[in-house]
Amino acid sequence: MLLVIDAGNTNIVFAVHDGTEWRGTWRLATSAQRTSDEYGVWLQALLTRIGVEIDQIDRAVIGTVVPAALYHLRRLCREWFSVEPLVARAPLDWGFEIRTDNPEAVGADRLLNALAAHHYYRGPLVVVDFGTATTFDVVDRDGAYLGGAISPGINLSIEALHQAAARLPRIGIGRPHVVIGRDTVPAMQSGIYWGYIGLIEGLLARIEVEYGEKLKAIATGGLAPLFAEGTTKFRAIAPDLTLDGLRLLSERNKAPPLPRDRARFMDSD
């Protein structure tokens, strides 16, 4: 079985794939201070609930945009599952070209989204990922990654609005039924939600003009279903696109060897 770890700025997603389907998916708040043993105890209990033993995990893959979290996640794989994780980085075999000025600077999550999106939907397309940042990533007809755009994520914008304006409260995100809010909170909810819809539609239109032809728009991330309700621009909603990208990347690349002195639960022979 494959252990997949997607470490973002806000949450870390752990998932297990048995070669046919996802057996379980769990989220944990990202913390660079959380140790490998804390991850291990927590994850072992969750695996037990779905009938999976630690020694059934024989591969692992990590994608992260939080370098400080990588150390403990790598130790988790080595010491609790006795596997050396494949870490998603630009020099791996992605199966496509990374046509940017500095390929190694591209976030792993953006490349993983491109890999999975082209696999399932075929380019040319653009992936819109609603995460800590809202990213727009363009994939060519042959699957090549061309770059894209990065804007502040929805929750980041809500928090910034609250902190910068003394009289504006912290609000939750939802889809308002009207644009003209008749009180402060409805007005803020309208500005955030419909403002982001305008951002999405405007950037998608400009990307298509620059690219020169129609692009399929694929939405991913936890808030993708919510924003897809407010626009007709999306061809598909794929909340687990990054996890699928990690699984596909692990299938394309050989698992690194595990240093024997790093495994906690390996047999003594």
Query: What are 46-93's pLDDT values in tens digits?
Result: 999 999 999 999 999 999 888 888 999 999 999 999 999 999 998 899
Strand order in the sheet with 2-7: 22-29, 11-17, 2-7, 59-64, 86-87
Active-site option among 6, 37, 58, 109: 109
Give the model confidence (pLDDT) of 6-23 as tens digits.
998 888 999 999 999 999
- Residue 6 pairs in a beta bridge with 13, 63
**Cβ atoms of residues 251 and 94 within 8 Å:** no
- What three-state secondary structure class fits 192? helix
Closest CA to 146 of 155, 137, 133: 137
Distance between CA atoms of residues 223 and 158, nearest Å: 14
Show Cβ contacts of residue 166 under 8 Å, excluding neighbours closer than 6 positions: none
Name the strand (E) or helix (H) holding 4: strand 2-7
Torsion 10-237-49-53 (CA) sign: negative
Q: Determine the pLDDT at residue 269.
A: 33
Tens digits of pLDDT across the chain (269 residues)? 999 999 988 889 999 999 999 999 999 998 888 899 999 999 999 999 999 999 999 999 999 888 888 999 999 999 999 999 999 998 899 999 999 999 988 989 999 999 999 999 998 999 999 988 899 999 999 999 999 999 988 887 888 877 777 677 788 788 888 899 888 888 988 988 999 999 999 999 999 999 999 999 999 988 899 999 999 999 999 988 999 999 999 999 998 888 765 544 444 33
E-assigned strands of 94-253? 125-130, 133-139, 145-152, 216-220, 236-237
Q: Determine the pLDDT at residue 265.
A: 47
Distance between CA atoms of residues 70 and 87, nearest Å: 9
Q: Tokens representing 243?
A: 């996890």
- The b-or-e profile of 189-227 (16+ CB within 10 A means b, else e) is bbbbbbebbebbeebbeebbeeeeeebbbbbbbbbbebb
Q: Is 18 a catalytic residue?
A: no
Show Cβ contacts of residue 256 under 8 Å, excluding neighbours closer than 6 positions: 84, 85, 86
Q: Determine the pLDDT at residue 266.
A: 44
